[in-house]
Copies of this chain bind each other. A is one copy, B any other.
Amino acid sequence: MGESYQIRLSTDDLPRKWYNILPDLPEPLPPPIGDEQLQRLPELMIGKCLEQEMSQENWIDIPDGVLELYERAGRPRPLFRARALERAIGTPARMYYKSEFYSPTGSHKVNTALAQAYYAKEQGIERLTTETGAGQWGTALSYACAMVGLKCTIYWVRAVYRWKKARRNLMNLFGAQVFASPSPNTKVGKELYDKNPEHPGSLSIAISEGLEDAQDPKAAYSLGSVLNHVLMHQTIIGLETQKQFEKAGDYPDIMISCLGGGSNFGGFVLPFVGEVLKKGKKIKFIAAQSKAAPNLQGEYKYDYADHGEITPQLKMYTLGHQTEFPPIRGDGLRYHGCSPIISLLRKHGYIDTIAYPQDEKYVFEMAELFTRTEGFLPAPESAYSIACAIDEAHRCKKTGEAKVIAFNVSGHGFMDMVGYDEVLGLSDRSPLREMAK
C-alpha cells in the first residue's frame, strides 16, 4: 500500500481527561449575570455540569463510565487525509478531516449527551428534559438516556417536529417522549396550545417548556451547546485529533469548523487554541457560518441565551436574543449568540469567521464535491466546514503554499436528503429529463 488515508487510534489512545480552557484564556471569562435566573440553576441543572461550568482546573478526569460510553459509541474516531479532494482541487495543501459523522445518532452532540446523562444518573436523577430545534441534540440526548437508563422528555419546535418524521421516529425508538412544542404538558405550553393546537412554536418556547418540566424534583434540564461544560465535553474531538496529528507527523496551520452555538467548533479547536496560547503555536482558526445568522459578526455584549429571558445573561457575540432568522437547511447554525468562550477568543483576535450566502447553493455544491471525492455524506451544517476548507485549499493553490488544513465533519446527512434535493435539484437530474432535451 502507498500513502495512508486514515489515521486511527486504538481504544487505549482514548483521551482520559477533557481539556478545560478557562484558566488559559487571555482574560478571565466574564461571569453570567441575572440573580433571579442564576438562583434557579441548581435545581434545574445536573450538579456536576454546573460545577464544571466554572471550574478553573485545566484538566478534568473523564469518569471511567463515560470512557466506556465513548468506546461503545465508536470512539476514538478516525482522522482522514482528504487526498482525493486535494487532487480534485489541485491544491498543494494537505487536508485532514475528523469523522464525527460516525456518531451513532449522526452528529457530534453525543459527546456531551453521554457525559451529561452519566452524571445525571450518578446523581440519582431519573429523567432529563430538553428542547430541540434541528433535532440533532434531541436525538443525541434520547440516545444517551437509553444508554445509561434514564427517561428523556423532548420539546421539539412544532414546525420542525412536523416534517422531520424520520428523526422523530428515531427518538421514539430510543424510548424518548417527544412533544411537539408548544404542548399541553406544561403551563407555559398549554396556554399557547389551548389557543392554537397548531401553533408552530419556537426554540424559545421549547426551552421554556423544558425548563418548566425540569422543576420536577426527579428531573434535570440538559443543554446541548453554548455553555462551558458542553464545549469541554466536546474537547474529546480535538484531543483525539491532536494525537492523530502527532501520529501523522503533521500539524495544522488552519483549523475550520461550522459554528452555531459553538460546541462542535469549540470541541475541535480548543485543545489547539490551548497550544497557541501556552506553547506559541501558530494556527488560524476559522468559524464557518451562514449569512442567515452570522452571530460572530454581531455585538460583544451581555445577552440572554433564549428569546424568553429565562436564562442568565452571558457575555457573547450576539445578534440579539429576539432576532428572527430565516430558515436554512443547516438549521443547527441558526442561533443568535456564540458560546462565551469562543466569543472571548474572537474578541482577542484568535478566531476568524466567514459567512456563506443563505441560499446555501455554494455550500451544498462543495458538499457534493466532498461526497464524490471522499465518499462520505456530510450533514448540511458540516457542508459549511467543507466549503470553507475548500476555499482555503484554493487559496493555497494560488499562492503555492503547502498548508495543512484540518476540518471537522460534525455529522452525516443520511436524514437530510430533502435539503440536498431542494438546494441541488437532485430529483431534476433524472436521465429521462436529459433525454427529453
Mark A residues whose CB is within 8 Å of B.
1-6, 8, 10-11, 14, 64, 67-68, 71-74, 78, 80, 84, 99, 102, 104, 106, 143, 146-147, 165-170, 172-175, 177-180, 183-185, 368, 371-377, 412, 414-415, 417-418, 420-421, 424, 426-427, 429-432, 435
Q: How many copies does the complex hold?
A: 2
| Given contact pairs A6-B74, A169-B426, A146 touches B375 in the complex (Cβ within 8 A) | yes
Q: Are B104 and A102 in contact (CB under 8 A)?
A: no
Q: Are B372 and A174 in contact (CB under 8 A)?
A: yes
| Given contact pairs A166-B418, A432-B183, A8 touches B5 in the complex (Cβ within 8 A) | no
**Smallest beta-carbon distance A152→chain B, Å:** 11
**Smallest beta-carbon distance A183→chain B, Å:** 7
Q: Are B170 and A417 in contact (CB under 8 A)?
A: yes
| Given contact pairs A6-B74, A375-B73, A1 touches B64 in the complex (Cβ within 8 A) | yes
Q: Are B173 and A67 in contact (CB under 8 A)?
A: no
Report the separation of the CA atoms of residues A74 and B5 in the bound assembly, to the nearest whole angstrom.
9
Q: Are B169 and A420 in contact (CB under 8 A)?
A: yes
Contacting residue for A179 out of B371, B377, B432, CB 8 A: B432
Residues of B within 8 A of A414 (CB): 106, 166, 170, 412, 414-415
Report the separation of the CA atoms of residues A435 and B67 in the bound assembly, to the nearest whole angstrom.
38
Q: Are B11 and A10 in contact (CB under 8 A)?
A: no
Q: Are B173 and A420 in contact (CB under 8 A)?
A: yes
Q: Are B68 and A377 in contact (CB under 8 A)?
A: no
| Given contact pairs A166-B417, A174-B372, A421-B165, A4 touches B10 in the complex (Cβ within 8 A) | no
**Smallest beta-carbon distance A179→chain B, Å:** 6
| Given contact pairs A11-B8, A375-B72, A2 touches B64 in the complex (Cβ within 8 A) | yes
Q: Are B377 and A4 in contact (CB under 8 A)?
A: no
| Given contact pairs A418-B166, A431-B178, A147 touches B84 in the complex (Cβ within 8 A) | yes
Contacting residue for A5 out of B68, B179, B375, CB 8 A: B68
Contacting residue for A173 out of B78, B373, B377, CB 8 A: B377
Contacting residue for A1 out of B5, B68, B166, B424, CB 8 A: B68
Q: Are B377 and A431 in contact (CB under 8 A)?
A: no
Residues of B within 8 A of A72 (CB): 5-6, 80, 84, 374-375
Report the separation of the CA atoms of residues A8 and B74 in the bound assembly, to the nearest whole angstrom.
10
Closest to A72 in B: B5
Q: Are A68 and B431 in contact (CB under 8 A)?
A: no
Q: Are A375 and B1 in contact (CB under 8 A)?
A: no
Residues of B within 8 A of A178 (CB): 430-431
| Given contact pairs A5-B68, A11-B6, A432 touches B172 in the complex (Cβ within 8 A) | no
Residues of B within 8 A of A420 (CB): 169, 173
